[in-house]
Amino acid sequence: MDLGLRSKAAIVAASSRGLGKAVATALAAEGASVLVFSRSANAMAAAQEIRQLTGAAAVGVQADVTRPSDLEHVVSEALSHFGRLDILVNNAGGPPPGTFEQLSDERWQEAVELTLMSAIRLTRLCIPHLRASGRGRIINLTSAATREPIPNLILSNAIRAAVVGWSETLASELAKDAILVNCVAPGRIDTERVRELDEANAMRQGVTYQQARAQQESAIPLGRYGSPDEFGAVVAFLASERASYVTGTTVYVDGGRLASVV
């Protein structure tokens, strides 16, 4: 199936590794030009790898999602290299684990800046260009925690839910401009971040990493963690012409882990 992404241009935040890199690779594999950025210099290496793998245009920029001036630079670079912008994928590294009583006001503010305000600021910068494209897409990467809170991740549970509320409101506001806004929520996808969480769970429970992971897998109907490529494919579909009547929703990529009728 041709997803209609050739000649389209995308910005993918926090994309030097993990889910962000998988999304950027999936978009490039469909022919989209992608700007990859992260706060580490690994963004340039990731862009080179994507170019070699897909043959698509890919540009790497070192930028921090929590710095407004960096975000302005990202948008400027995308327009300079591609001349247009059709797709924005908001993403950021997850806030640190912890319980309510372990986390200070400073930790909460840092998490808001990282997870919520970064997406708000970058989206504000991109909307005029997405509007000009006539088929803009905004896709926010959240978490299955927006439906079922995850123990010891109170920052992520609270603030990613705010991202969903903002996204659904924005979808209504931008529909008149043919800009579609959706969230994609990963469950247990086999990334470095999830492995770190499993290691923390193992230490807290006094079990091995393998036991902690097996416990998580036993709760997933498909019986395994998802791959980053599987996650990236879902985002690419939502960014495509084939998803032209999907907006204001959250798609859960979790192997059936969440059982709910709402």
Sheet containing 87-90, strands listed edge to edge, beginning at the edge strand earlier in sequence: 58-62, 33-38, 9-12, 87-90, 137-141, 180-186, 250-253
Whether 261 maps to a domain, the answer reads no
Whether 84 maps to a domain, the answer reads yes
Q: Is the pLDDT score of 261 beyond 60?
A: no
Domain total in the chain: 1
DSSP 8-state symbol, 32? -
Q: What is the per-residue pLDDT for 1?
A: 74
Name the average pLDDT for the chain.
95
Percent of the chain with pLDDT over 90: 88
For residue 69, the enclosing domain spans 9-191+228-253
pTM over 0.75? The answer is yes
Q: Is the dihedral of CA 185, 187, 191, 197 positive or negative?
A: positive
- Span 195-221, mean pLDDT? 91
- Span 70-78, mean pLDDT? 98
Q: Specify the CATH number for the domain of residue 237.
A: 3.40.50.720
Nearest to residue 39, comparing CAs of 10, 9, 73?
A: 73
- Span 173-191, mean pLDDT? 96
Confidence of residue 258 (pLDDT cuts 50, 70, 90): confident
Whether 198 maps to a domain, the answer reads no
Q: Is the pLDDT score of 259 beyond 80?
A: no
pLDDT tens, 75-94?
A: 999 999 999 999 999 999 88
pLDDT tens, 18-55?
A: 999 999 999 999 999 999 999 998 999 999 999 999 99
Confidence of residue 151 (pLDDT cuts 50, 70, 90): confident
Q: Is the pLDDT score of 235 beyond 90?
A: yes
Whether 46 maps to a domain, the answer reads yes
Q: What is the per-residue pLDDT for 200?
A: 85
Q: Give dist(CA 169, CA 166) in Å, integer.
A: 5
pLDDT tens, 189-204?
A: 999 888 988 898 899 8
Whether 74 maps to a domain, the answer reads yes
Q: What is the per-residue pLDDT for 197?
A: 83
Whether 122 maps to a domain, the answer reads yes
